[in-house]
Amino acid sequence: MDASNPLAELKDIHLPDSPSVFPLALGWEIIIGIIVLAILGLIIVAFIKKAKQKRFEKMNLLITEIESNNALTDHEIIEQSSILLKRIALMKFATDNPQFIAGDEWFKYLQSKTPKFDLSTSALSYLNNVYQIQTLENKDKFFNDLRLWVRSII
């Protein structure tokens, strides 16, 4: 080494490592966590809505099946509709044991499950006397009200 040149004795300068993106500051981790939870919440809500829509479509298909069966008399339509409503009630409110309810109690039970939907003024009032022979005056209104009741339950 040359003693006359003091620069020759200097060593290379080592720069520190460049700062990395991770670990993030706590604030960023909280924001990312909130965003992930919001996305998961939206996915769950969408899944629940889709499942409800699918259930309603299944029930609507069963209602349409009863409606399109021309071989059924009005009394049989009312009976089949009541059976369908019992199946729906059993599926939705199994702890109430709706399969054992009949007559006026059945009609009151249906009304209690949908307080916003007044069954006494709807075409579903035929369900009050399921086992008596009745004639449907307006089948379209009956099936529309049936669909509305199912929609309000599901």
Tens of pLDDT, residues 126-147:
777 777 777 777 888 888 888 8
DSSP states of 58-108? HHHHHHHHHHH-TTS-HHHHHHHHHHHHHHHHHHH-GGG-GGG--THHHHH
Contact predicate 138/123, CB 8 Å? yes
pLDDT above 80 (res 115): no
What pLDDT does 36 receive? 98
- The residue extents of the domains of the chain are 54-153
What pLDDT does 1 receive? 53
Tens of pLDDT, residues 7-60:
777 778 888 888 777 788 889 999 999 999 999 999 999 999 999 889 888 888
Residues whose CB falls within 8 Å of the CB of residue 109, separated by 6 or more in sequence, listed in order: 89, 96, 98, 101
What pLDDT does 31 receive? 96
Tens of pLDDT, residues 58-94:
888 888 888 888 888 888 888 888 888 888 888 888 7
DSSP 8-state symbol, 103: T
What distance lies between CA 119 and its chain's CA centroid?
23
What is the C-alpha separation between 85 and 132, in angstroms, rounded? 17
Token readout for 140 is 């379209």
Backbone angles phi, psi at 76, to 5 degrees: -70, -35
